Amino acid sequence: MPLTITFLGHSGFLFSDGENTLVVDPFLTGNVLAKHRPSDITCNYIAVTHGHLDHLGDTIEIAKRNDATVIATFELANYIGSKGVKKTEPANPGGKIMTDFGFVALTPAIHSVSRNEDSLDTPVGLVIRIDGTTVYHMGDTTIFSDMKLIGEIYEPDIVCIPIGDRFTMGPEIATRAAEMVGAKAAIPMHYGTFPALNQTSEKFVPNGIKVQVIEPGESWEYKE
């Protein structure tokens, strides 16, 4: 069965293999581009790249309603657990959480740290193995040369890559980052949501990599 990738807007995605659904960074409430409401989301896993509200978003509400397992860095997972989410899987960069669909591994990301009550959280990227496909969701970050190693180690088929500039890399640097990782397809994210971000993906032009733009609320079926 093909992997269904639904773009929730901003950095939010829903990955479904038909049996399991993983949601990443479900920022829906307050996202003017989002087509889904939190109550529309059915999932058994959620992974969160960091605690900024445009990523943590509606995680707690969605996790509680679905009794979903939340994967995040140690401090952020503890914070989410303290808000009444029963199933959390804390991890740190380099670590891998085995799941019913495969795994979620955490990678470094270069980004500012946020604070949720007394917990600080370290922003990360995610490598997701689902239905035989590997997706590298970079989270909020700029380029760093270890992206090449991440590409070599996990051999991602797809990268979800921030291109909005200002709070992450912009499209020109993201072009180089995608080429360094070397996936088959790249899905641009974290742009157009706010006036401060770049509004289009036209300057994101990695060589030899298919750029797959998915509109918020739309899905793409990935087949090898």
Contacts with Ni ion, residue ranges (CB under 5 A): 52, 140
Which C-beta is closer to Mn ion: that of 27 or that of 79?
Answer: 27
Q: Distance (Å, rounded) from C-alpha 2 to C-alpha 131?
A: 8
CB of 123 to Mn ion, least distance (A): 9
Q: Distance (Å, rounded) from C-alpha 127 to C-alpha 150?
A: 9
List residues near Mn ion by CB under 5 A.
54, 140
Write the DSSP string, 146-213: THHHHHHHH--SEEEEE---SSS--HHHHHHHHHHHT-SEEEEES-SSSTTS----TT---TTSEE--
CB of 72 to Ni ion, least distance (A): 13
CB of 80 to Ni ion, least distance (A): 16
Whether the CB-CB separation of 128 and 158 falls below 8 Å is answered with: no
Which C-beta is closer to Ni ion: that of 121 or that of 131?
Answer: 121
Whether the CB-CB separation of 10 and 190 falls below 8 Å is answered with: yes
Which C-beta is closer to Ni ion: that of 117 or that of 221?
Answer: 117
**What would you measure as the largest C-alpha separation in the chain, in angstroms?**
45
165 binds, among Ni ion, Mn ion, none (CB under 5 to 8 A by kind): none
Which C-beta is closer to Ni ion: that of 49 or that of 99?
Answer: 49
75 binds, among Ni ion, Mn ion, none (CB under 5 to 8 A by kind): none
Which C-beta is closer to Mn ion: that of 17 or that of 140?
Answer: 140
CB of 176 to Mn ion, least distance (A): 20
CB of 46 to Ni ion, least distance (A): 17
Q: Distance (Å, rounded) from C-alpha 23 to C-alpha 47?
A: 6
